[in-house]
Structures are given as C-alpha cells and as structure tokens.
Chains A and B, each alone.
Chain A
Amino acid sequence: MLLRAILSFLVIFFSTLLTAFAQTDTVRITLKAISGLQYDQVRLSVPPAVWVELTLMNTDEMPHNWIMTQPGTREDVVGMSLELAKQGSTDYVPESDKVLQAIPLILPEEKYTISFQAPQQEGIYPYVCTYPGHGAVMYGAMYVTNNQLPPLATDENVPASRRDDENVAEEKPPKHPYPDILPAMYRTFMPNCGPAGIAVGLLGDISYCWDAGQCRLRYVWKGGFIDLEQHWSGKGKELAEIVGMVFYRDSTEFPFRVGEDQEIPTVEFLGYEMKNRYPTFKYRLNDVEVTERIVPAFETPGIKRMLTFSGLDQPLWFIKGQDDVLYYSNQGEWEDEKTLRLSPEEAQEFIITITENMSEI
C-alpha cells in the first residue's frame, strides 16, 4: 500500500514536472489545409529534439492528411500511398520507416492535433498530403535547425508556385455561391480551341480542354486550372487564362478513324452527363456513339481517357497526337509508332492513358 502511494506520488510529481517542462519548451504550430491543394505554410522551422504540438485545420473543401517523412523521401512516400489507394485503401499513410509522423485524413472543417518530438538530427524533413493526386503539389518542408532558413525564392523543398510568397495565397472574393472545388467544369472561350470550348479541372491539378465543336480532346495541362476573372468581368472578349503548363496537345487532324477508308469522321456533339463532378461526353462519329470520361492518371501527370464506342462494325484507329508523351492502351494493338488498332469488340470499352514522359524531362 505504502509503496503504491509513493509510486502514485512520484508519478504525479514527475508528470506535473514534465508538463511544466513541456509547456515551456513545446513549439505549437497550427497548419491549415487551404483551397488550391496547398498548406497555408510551406516551411516550418523547429530546433532539434524540441516537442512539437502540431494542429492541422482543414479549411478546404476536400479531405487532406499530413505526413512528415525522412529527408529526401517525400516522393517515395507519395508513391507508396498511391499503391495503398490502388489496393482500395482509404488510409493513405503507408507503413514505412520513411514515415516519421502522420495526421490521418481529416474532412473539411475538421482539425486534428498530434504531439511529437522533433528529430535529433538537423535536416529538411518534408511534409506532404498523400491523398491521391495531392502529393505532387501539396507539400512543404519542416526545417529542423537552429539556424536561419535559406531564401524562399530558391528553395527547392517547397512547391514552385509558393516560392514567391511567404504566407497564404491572397484571399480572393468568391467566384460562386458555392465552394470552388475540383473537379470542375466550364464551358468557356479557351485559347487554342474552337469557340465551343470546355475546360475541366481534375484532382491533382491536371486539367484538360475539350472542344465541343470538334468533339475531341485538345490539350492537357498541369499545375492548375483556369482563371476566368478577365473573361467574366468584361463582355467576354478575354479568353480563359490557363493556370499551369500544357504538356500534351493533340496535333492530329482528328485522333479517331473509323473503318478502312481512314477518312475523318463527321462529328456531332450530344452533350454530357455529370457524375461525381466528372463529365462523360457523348458524341457521334459518323453513326457510332461514343462516350468519353477523362480522369487523372495519378502516377505521373497525365490522364486516362475512358472510352466506349457502340455500334462499330469496322475497326477503329487511334492516332497519337504528340510524340514526347507516353501512351498506354488496355485494348488493341499498336500497328506502328503512332497508330493503335482496335477491333469493334475491343473498342466497346477501352482506356487510353496519356502521361508526361518523366524520363525526357
């Protein structure tokens, strides 16, 4: 009994002492996930071995997590998380030595606090959101150091779009009476497209331009969506402005050919259906009904074109629109460097993946 009383006393004594110690020596950080797939702070700085109490607040309209990794392993961890996602997991925190700390996925308007001791070893410890599609752009760096940080403008450890900005992106007035979230779609005036243009912004900051006049994908870009402020605030003279960098442009006369004659088919746009904010385009090539749904290819910047052709009684050809990207089709055979041939059966449902060729960059 006495021993137990003494032990209790000691526990209370030391825990009080410890709390007091911790309170004076804990670094408290509140980090926000904000719209546009970003954290409000892209750099944090803590001394080695200090106690950190980190709160993640999700002020965005989609779920986010926060993972701190071993130096230089951010991309590996993002890759492992994608593997988890592909296996059907909704927990995007991989079991790995490379993961040092993690805040699990939290929903919009939620917050989550963890406490941990900062690494003993000085270094640049990346942090990243590993929700599929976010990892490529939503990250920052925790500097474990007693020294000053290097200039932000040349800091390779933060996203390029944030190197000119110490804090949060400027607050802009709302565009609509509802949250500005991705995926999103606008019919608008797009550059390098016919006047019946469509812009779709996908998760992972991959966007594409689809031409409803010509019934075809025109180009794909990464790093953002579109800015319509100029178009909206004028009479419509100014075009939508592309945010990011175009990495794929279809330069063919038309990417699909039906039958042996290889003639350019006549097209008719029928409209589209929205599901989970993704459009499925419906159009006719000659008499063949086509549906097309485009989703991001999360592995590397790119897209998956999910296509169905119904009513085909002749083969279908797909022609590459640009050479320096990677193509993959789950159906058909490549006849040569540029041309994919699909039988009517194969063309009933197939996926063409177009991704940036990272090895060339």
Chain B
Amino acid sequence: MRRYSLVIIVTIWIVAGCTLQPVEQEVGVIDDQRIDNFYSVEDVPLPEGLTAEIGGMDFMPDGRMIVCFHRGEVMTYDPREKTWELFAEGLHDPLGILALNNWEVLVMQRPELTRLVDNDNDGEAEEYLVATDDFGISGNYHEFAYGPAYNGKDLYIALNCASKNAGIWDEVRGETNMLGEVAGMYSAVEYRGWVMKLREDGVLEPVASGFRSPDGIGFDLEGNLFVTDNQGDWLGTSKLYHIEEGNFYGQISSLVWREDWNGDPEATPVSTLDSMRTRAAVLFPHNIMSNSPTQPLVIPENSNFEPFAGQLLVGEMDFPRIMRVMLEKVNGKFQGACTSFIDSAGLSIGNHRMVFDPEGNLWVGKSAYVWVGDQGIQRIRYNGGMPMDVLQMNVTPQGFKLTFTRPVDRKMAEKPDNYQFSRYYYAYHQKYGSPRMDEQSVAVKEVQVSEDGKEVLLTLAEMNPGYVYDLQIDQLNSMKGVALKNRRLFYTLNEVPTNQTALSSR
C-alpha cells in the first residue's frame, strides 16, 4: 500500500509533543496551526473490540455510513443513533467500499471486487457475489487492491505491485511473467501496477499502467479520474496522476502487461522510459507536504467546504494533514498546486479514507498497518465564517496568479519579499525516491494586486517547465485582518502557457 516512511523522524516528532514544530528541519514545516478557527475535529465513537483500521467508507442513501475494516468487518453507523451494526464479515483486507443503495455495497478486497447484498433488509448481507476477480494475485503480501471509483457507468480499481521483500507463491492466480519482476516493486502477475475498468457488461479491462502503490482513486466533479501514488522506486516523490486510457505513468514493472509493448522493462533505457511516461498533475514534495498520500476526494457542491467545491482533498498518512489540490488545464493537460487543507488542529495522522456525509461534513478514517498511522474515525465540521486562504493558484506565462477567498491587505500583498519561491525537480530513476534536484530560489520581480483585492499576480524571474515551484508566503492578512491560513503551496509546472493572463477587473 505504501512504503517506508521516515518512521524515526516521525516518532521523534510525536514524542516531542505532537506539535508541528519540526525536529528535523524539513519535516512538516508548513505552519504551526494547532487550532483551526473554521473547522473542528471530533472523534467518532467506535464499538468495543474493533481494530479500527479503515479500508473504505461511504454513505448509503438512508444516511447510514458504511465502513470496511482491516480484519474484514463491514459495519454500518447510524450518526443519529450513534449505533454500529455488522453488515458483513470475513473479507480479506478490504481497502475500498462503494454503497450502491441501502442494501447493496461493493467492496474491494485482496482477491476480488465483491458485491454484498442484504436481500431481506435486516441490515446484514447474505450474498457475497463476485463482481470481478479477473486479475492476478501472486500471494505477495504487497498486492493490495483499491477502489472502486464510480462515474455512474463504469467502475475503476487500482492494483498494487508486489514487494521485493517477499516472493510469489508456487500457486498463483492468473498468468505470470517474470520479466515484470524488476528491482523494487514488481508485477509478476497480470495487471499488477495497473488501473482497471470494470465495464457495465462485467468485463474487466486494463486502462493505464505504471503504478507502484496507488492507494487512492477517485473522480472529480467533471468525471476526470485521479490516482495517487507513493514515493519509491521510479517515483522521486509522491504524486497525483490524471488517468487517461492507454497511458503509462512511470513505474516500469507493469509494462510487461502492455499489449502494444514487447520489451523488457529493466533492459529499456531510462530515457526511453522517461519519454513514454505521462507526468503527474501534481507532485507532493516528500517530507514537506506528504510522505504517503491516500484517497483523492472531490469537494462536492453542496458541502460546507465552500468555496473549495470541485477541488480535491487528498489524505496523508504520516502527517496530521489533509491536503487540498487546485488543478487547471494548461495546453490540454491537468497540472496544479497542492497545499494543506487542515493541519493538526486535533486531526491525527493515518488519514486513509474520507467521505462527505449528506450534511456536508467530512469523515476521515484512519489506518496504519505496520507503517506510520493511526486507528479510528474523525469527523470534521465547518464552524462557519470564511477562512482566509488561497482559493486558486494559476500559472501565467511569466509567473503565477493567486486568487484568495477574501480581499487581501493590499500593503502586505504588494511586497515582493512576501513571496519566497524556490524550484526543484525530482529524478526519474530506479532508485528509491529522489532528493530535490537543482534546487534554487526564484526572485519575484513584480507584484500586482487586482482592484477587488482578491487576485495577486506574481511575475517571476524564470519559469522552468518540469520543476516544482515551492511558494512560502510570509505575512499576509485579509483586508479585515484575518491571517492567511495555509501559507505554503507547491505548483507542479509541467507546461507554461503562452497566452497572456491578465488580472480580472472585478
């Protein structure tokens, strides 16, 4: 599911009192925000005897939340009565759930996508039916399965690669190809490291390759599919990909299952592999932003999390953080920025699965396995008021345009020194992770603030595609004196637009 993280550092950091004050310079240096004025975090009561490591959560139309857990339980929670009921049991490591109605759910477990049906409406499923098991499993413990993400038509699942820390069994399910057993994470059975589509007619077909540990799959409001992947071999840092059919996303082992490719992944030059791959829409800088991103969840129109509707939230395992992703299309491709949505403020680590309830509150399920993480479920409520935050970060030919949720304090906003940019890239190589490469600061040459005070146009000394632009805003308040909530943003600059972007005259 994930890979090694900086366990020791995080441990020290927890022992040091759970603040975001970093022990090592880099870790978690976003903001020391232990209190959030706009959102409150509360723990959800859980039944006794439950090992509350959450693999998936969703809401049924009748308002019950349905949750699957590490030890194979599927339970419903009635938020009004605060009662838990058992819906199903005995599943193998379920890591995703989708409620179809009040009596049917789909659960992604290791060996299959399973449809659970409560035929007699007694709150407990009687039928456990195979929705699909047309993918390989080798018995390697690291072959987790994620999803399903549903666009109203097809279901999408993501299949983890195997770990080099274990082999494959003598008996496997599905075809094997040992060319897929590359150094690092490997794909010895078919469609490991792939995103798959289960069509309405029941056929499971491969969609896109090149994934390592894609523990997050979800759609935005327009029906675009996004998948997160975790830092490791062939991933210099963790990423968010926009998924398009036929594309290859970089981790090489899955290539052996591509019908239009007959090569040996390990014998193929890195430059060739690099030219084949589709770059991530957003990079999550390791140790600073995220060590282990999880589910991408779109903020719905009707939630209390205005004005961020349509943007993606992404869970984070190692930090007490949920991230927010702002995307835009440049030259026809998605790219954009990530920042924190909520940091600490009562939120624990291990943020694995998320779902919005019908009232628009966000529920967060925790997980750990043996990696860094936690147990339990937390609910995040909106307390009202408009947080002072960056609503959108857009690229321009000469720099970036920041749009704020509230008009800025013009005096503070106009100072170029207030915006500290550095830029760097991550190497594409077999080695595990990558340091920040060619890291340099970039001067802000000019700042323009729009008439309504909501937009700030920054002109930079240089714009280099292929780099992450890391922005630290030092001091910035709204016109009415509310401090900027999240002051660090990371823009993944794959493409630089050619059209001039002007400030709106609002």
Chain A: residues with CB nearer than 8 A to chain B? 173-178, 184-189, 193-196, 212-213, 228, 232-237, 269-275, 279
Contacts and interface: CB of A to CB of B under 8 A. Distances in A.
B129 interface: yes
Contacts of A175: 49, 71
A186 B90 contact: yes
A232 B367 CA distance: 13
9 contacts: A174-B49, A176-B71, A177-B46, A187-B110, A188-B92, A189-B139, A195-B173, A213-B171, A271-B127
Interface string B369-407: 110000000000000000000000000000000000000
Given A174-B48, A177-B73, A213-B173, A196 B141 contact: no
Nearest to B1: A235
Contacts of A176: 49-50, 71, 73, 89
B50 A212 contact: no
B341 interface: no
B121 to A, nearest CB: 15
Contacts of A236: 93, 110, 141
Given A176-B73, A237-B165, A269-B112, 9 more contacts: A176-B71, A185-B90, A188-B92, A195-B173, A232-B70, A236-B93, A237-B141, A237-B166, A274-B128
Contacts of A173: 49
Closest 7 CB pairs of A and B: A174-B49, A271-B129, A177-B47, A196-B111, A187-B92, A195-B139, A237-B141
A271 B92 contact: no
Contact of B90 (A177, A187, A196, A234): A187
A196 B72 contact: no
Contact of A235 (B50, B127, B370): B370
B186 to A, nearest CB: 15
B378 to A, nearest CB: 19
Interface in B175-211: none
Contacts of A234: 141, 370
B486 interface: no
B129 A270 contact: yes
Interface in B105-162: 109-112, 114-115, 125-130, 133, 137-139, 141-142
A177 B75 contact: yes
Given A187-B109, A193-B171, A235 B141 contact: yes
Contact of A275 (B114, B115, B126): B126
A178 B172 CA distance: 33
Most chain B Cβ neighbours within 10 Å, of A177, A233, A234: A177
Contacts of B172: 194-195
B440 interface: no
Contacts of B165: 237
A237 B139 CA distance: 9
B114 A271 contact: yes
Contacts of A174: 48-49
Contacts of A232: 51, 70-71
Interface in B204-234: none
Contacts of A273: 126-128
B90 A184 contact: yes
Contacts of B127: 271-274
B84 interface: yes
A212 B90 CA distance: 14
A305 B89 CA distance: 23
Contacts, number: 106
A270 B72 CA distance: 19
A194 B454 CA distance: 60
A233 B171 CA distance: 24
A189 B90 CA distance: 12
B261 interface: no
A196 B92 CA distance: 9
A176 B133 CA distance: 27
- Interface range on chain B (Cβ under 8 Å from partner): 35 or more
Contacts of B47: 177
B130 A177 contact: no
A247 B114 CA distance: 32
A228 B72 CA distance: 11
Given A176-B73, A232-B51, A195 B137 contact: yes
B173 A194 contact: yes
A269 B70 contact: no
A257 B70 CA distance: 38
B86 interface: yes
Contact of A269 (B49, B126, B130, B137): B130
Interface in B95-109: 109
A235 B111 contact: no
A187 B111 contact: yes
B128 A196 contact: no
A234 B1 CA distance: 13
A236 to B, nearest CB: 4
Contacts of B114: 271
A270 B73 contact: no
A185 B172 CA distance: 22
A233 to B, nearest CB: 8
A274 B90 CA distance: 11
Given A176-B49, A178-B49, A212-B111, A274 B169 contact: no
B91 interface: yes
Given A194-B173, A195-B138, A195-B172, A177 B128 contact: no
A272 B137 CA distance: 20
A178 B141 CA distance: 27
Contacts of B70: 232
A177 B50 contact: yes
A177 B114 CA distance: 22
B190 to A, nearest CB: 13
Interface in B70-94: 70-73, 75, 84, 86, 89-93
Nearest to B114: A271
A352 B138 CA distance: 32
A274 B141 CA distance: 27
B171 to A, nearest CB: 5
B370 A177 contact: no
B84 A177 contact: yes
A233 B371 CA distance: 11
Interface string B397-426: 000000000000000000000000000000
Nearest to B2: A235
Given A196-B133, A213-B111, A270-B129, A178 B138 contact: no
Contacts of A213: 111, 137, 171, 173
Contacts of B75: 177
A275 B89 CA distance: 13
A189 B137 CA distance: 11
Contacts of A188: 92
A235 B141 CA distance: 7
Contacts of B51: 232
A194 B129 CA distance: 19
Nearest to A233: B370
Contacts of B90: 184-187
Interface string B29-66: 00000000000000000111111000000000000000
A217 to B, nearest CB: 15
A275 B119 CA distance: 12
Nearest to B53: A232
